[in-house]
A and B are shown apart, each in its own frame.
Chain A
Amino acid sequence: MTDPDFQSAYHRHKEVIYRFACRMTGSAATAEDVTQECFLALWRNPRAYQPSRGALRAFLLGMVRKLILKRWRAERPHEPLEDESSICGPLDLVGEERAETVARAVRMLPPLQREAVILAEYEEMSLEEISSATGSELAAVKSRLHRGRHNLRRMLAPLLETEGTTYGTK
């Protein structure tokens, strides 16, 4: 990969990588760190990216995802990445901005549900693209997305009710 190629790839994908990292980690500083690590890893080993295996965006998202999950595991070694039984209750909205509540709800999702929701809802990626970026089976992505949305509906029920729809919290 030549220098202009790298710079072009960086400018084309830095925002999506940073946004994803920011939403996944909830920290601008951590997002900046992992985005830097991700692009420098590509610079050091450009052969790791095989165009025949998918788009560069999916490759970079997969790489930054690994870096984020590595940090997450180091911080919480005994917590599972995916808790199928996790059911989140409605959030208490007292004294909190709506956007802040949404951010908190997304961050409360188990990591694998969170990444599926972020990539689908915010980056508007297809199931196939998410599957390619996360290296997961299509069915697994679908299931995580379904559970993630279900959990979000429960957590954000108070906000959704004010929007005109009522959701059960059972």
Chain B
Amino acid sequence: MEPNDDPQLRKVLREWQVPDAPPSLDARVLGGRRSWLRFLLTGQIRVPVPVGLAVAAALIAMSMSLAREHGRPPAEPVRPVFNLKDFQPVAHIQVRVIRSQYAAE
């Protein structure tokens, strides 16, 4: 210990005594240790307000987006559009008849 050359000061300081640790501390410390399973079931965590608000806003936005997706009527299948504007009939038709090999029989 640092030598204190003032025994009078030491004597006066020692007049201030503090109480011993209360018995309730034992329960708080020894009973305060919880297993992970118990923590998962009953634990609480502190979340800063900005983080909590950001998470809540994200959840609301996600749920609204999902609700919109579900509320929308199913999209109709795309039908092909036929356009005969550029249709050109062939100039010479060459007809070729292919007979079946069984036709002569």
A residues near B (Cβ < 8 Å) are 6-7, 10, 14-15, 18-19, 22-23, 28, 32, 35-36, 39-40, 43, 98-100, 102-103, 106, 117, 120-122, 124-127, 142, 145, 149, 152-153, 156, 159-160, 163-165
Contact = CB atoms under 8 A, between A and B. Distances in A.
Interface of B: 1-2, 4, 6, 8-22, 24-26, 28-30, 32-33
Looking at chain A's contact residues, is the secondary structure mostly helix, strand, loop, or mixed?
helix
19 contacts: A10-B29, A18-B20, A22-B19, A28-B22, A32-B21, A32-B22, A35-B21, A40-B33, A43-B33, A102-B13, A102-B15, A102-B16, A117-B13, A121-B14, A124-B1, A149-B6, A156-B9, A159-B12, A160-B8
Nearest to A39: B29
A14 B29 contact: yes
Given A32-B25, A99-B17, 15 more contacts: A14-B21, A15-B21, A28-B22, A43-B33, A98-B12, A99-B16, A100-B16, A102-B12, A102-B16, A103-B16, A125-B1, A126-B1, A127-B1, A152-B9, A156-B12
A149 B29 contact: no
B13 A121 contact: yes
Contacts of A106: 13, 16
A14 B25 contact: yes
B18 A23 contact: yes
Given A7-B30, A40-B32, A32 B24 contact: yes
